[in-house]
Amino acid sequence: MKRALALAVLLLAGCGGGSKAQKLAGIAVDPPVRAPNFALEDQSGRTVTVAAQRGHWLVVTFLYTHCPDVCPLIAAHLNRAIDAPAGRRAELHVIAVSVDPARDTLAAVRRYAVTHRLAPSFRWAIGSRAQLARVWHDYHVAAQPGPKGTVTHSTFEILVDPQGRERAIYDSSITTDQLTGDLAKLGAM
């Protein structure tokens, strides 16, 4: 419920909110809530879970490999954040959950990871429509076919702390500097 409220605030007010105690570039999840766990396959054919990321800062986002516009930009910013000094100190990981189960095949996500030079800690999670729909439901994500082979979907990123708690939510305009700045503010060093 707290995530749904934070997402509603994000949609109404735009990014740049933050809690009273700490001004973040993202909207603070205050108090932090446990991030829902899931088990999906990544681009290496291995199982990826939120629970296995404990001990690391994590960003969970929802993208697709054939996206013509915003998804590649988000992926690029998150990938750069992993390699930024603050991201390295925080041991930042990313899980991009597919919103296009029909086309985000193992071959497609492998090709995307190579083409876009994704860091090893950037995992692209795929699965059947039923498997992904459970994750979308748990994270309040809408995903449906759009015009000309696109997918209309919720576009946000959730920063999860090493204890598995959601700490901030970002909109599609997230930048590397915003994310790494919030990592520093949240003591991820």
Above 80 in pLDDT, residue 51? yes
Q: What does pTM read for this prediction? A: 0.88
Residues 78-114 have pLDDT tens digits of 999 999 999 999 999 999 999 999 999 999 999 999 9
Q: Would you tell me the crossing angle of helices 70-83 and 176-185 to the nearest 10 degrees? A: 40
Q: What are 107-156's pLDDT values in tens digits?
A: 999 999 999 999 999 999 999 999 999 999 999 999 998 998 899 999 99
The residue ranges of every structural domain in the chain are 2-185
Q: What pLDDT, on a 0 to 100 scale, did the predictor assign at position 174?
A: 94
CATH number listed for the domain at residues 2-185: 3.40.30.10
Predicted pLDDT at 143: 92
pLDDT, residue 16, reads 42
What pLDDT, on the 0 to 100 scale, is given for residue 4? Answer: 53
φ, ψ dihedrals at 53, nearest 5°: -90, -5
Residue 187 has pLDDT above 90, yes or no: no
Burial 52-81 (b: 16+ CB within 10 A, else e): bbeeebbbbbbbbbebeeebeebbebbbbb
